[in-house]
Chain A
Amino acid sequence: ETVMTQSPATLSVSPGERATLSCRASQSVTSKLAWYQQKPGQALRLLIYAASTRATGIPARFSGSGSGTEFTLTISTLQSEDFAVYYCQQYNNWPPAFGRGTTVEI
């Protein structure tokens, strides 16, 4: 089973700053990596799939990179609505597996 490790657990940033979130897989997941955003009371939102492809309607300030075992989600200029919890998830190996999440806080 593939274990996904996200770091840091919490990231404290100011609006307008850049945020960099990391996700590491215990074995190669090629480029089959997705990122999600979770906000209280809202449905989860798919941000990125295939490691670097933005989902429909996702702003260009969100970008993903990486392959194999190391991945990064970058939010170039944090907006107030971006403060949330972010999860990575691999879908190359069965079963699909999520990381424990990174909380981006003010």
Chain B
Amino acid sequence: EVYLVESGGGLVQPGGSLRLSCVASGFTLSSYDMNWVRQAPGKGLEWVSYINTLSSSSYYADSVKGRFAISRDNAKNSLYLQMNSLRAEDTAVYYCARDAVEPLIREVYMDVWGKGTTVTVSS
């Protein structure tokens, strides 16, 4: 069975940093472009970041550009999100999600999702 499991969430002060991880099982991460999507409390879904299979292209939502960095380690079947200069509005559940579109094509819809990890930014 195919799984994504996120970790690394927690409580952090405004201006702080956090690194999220996502481990894939049941499939080879290196064959898929990957994404992070977040959901603020009581709100809808917001796409955050995308990275292609080769790590040669990555993209970010305007709300996180310059503060967040997506990366991957295909050998470890893992995806990461480094989050710096965190703000209260970054408080959300962060989901790792597999891109269903064929690799290296910048179109994103997602066919496998993790259950998320919660990030709370508060003093």
Query: Which A residues lie at the B interface, using CB under 8 A?
Result: 32, 34, 36, 41-46, 49, 55-56, 87, 89, 91-92, 94-101
Q: When the two chains form their complex, are residues B114 and A43 in contact, meaning their CB atoms are under 8 A apart?
A: yes
Task: Tell me if B88 counts as interface (CB < 8 A to partner A).
Answer: no
Q: List 6 A-B contacts (CB under 8 A).
A: A43-B112, A44-B110, A89-B45, A89-B109, A91-B101, A91-B109
Q: When the two chains form their complex, are residues B115 and A46 in contact, meaning their CB atoms are under 8 A apart?
A: no
What number of B residues sit within 8 Å (CB to CB) of A?
22
Query: Which B residues lie at the A interface, using CB under 8 A?
Result: 4, 43-47, 59, 61, 95, 97, 100-101, 106-115
Q: When the two chains form their complex, are residues B109 and A96 in contact, meaning their CB atoms are under 8 A apart?
A: yes
A/B pair count, beta carbons within 8 Å: 55
A97 to B46 alpha-carbon distance, docked (Å)? 7
**Those 9 A-B pairs whose CB atoms lie nearest each other, nearest first:** A34-B109, A44-B113, A98-B45, A96-B108, A100-B44, A43-B113, A96-B47, A91-B109, A46-B111
Q: When the two chains form their complex, are residues B47 and A44 in contact, meaning their CB atoms are under 8 A apart?
A: no
**With A46-B100, A99-B44 in contact, do A55 and B111 touch (Cβ < 8 Å)?**
yes
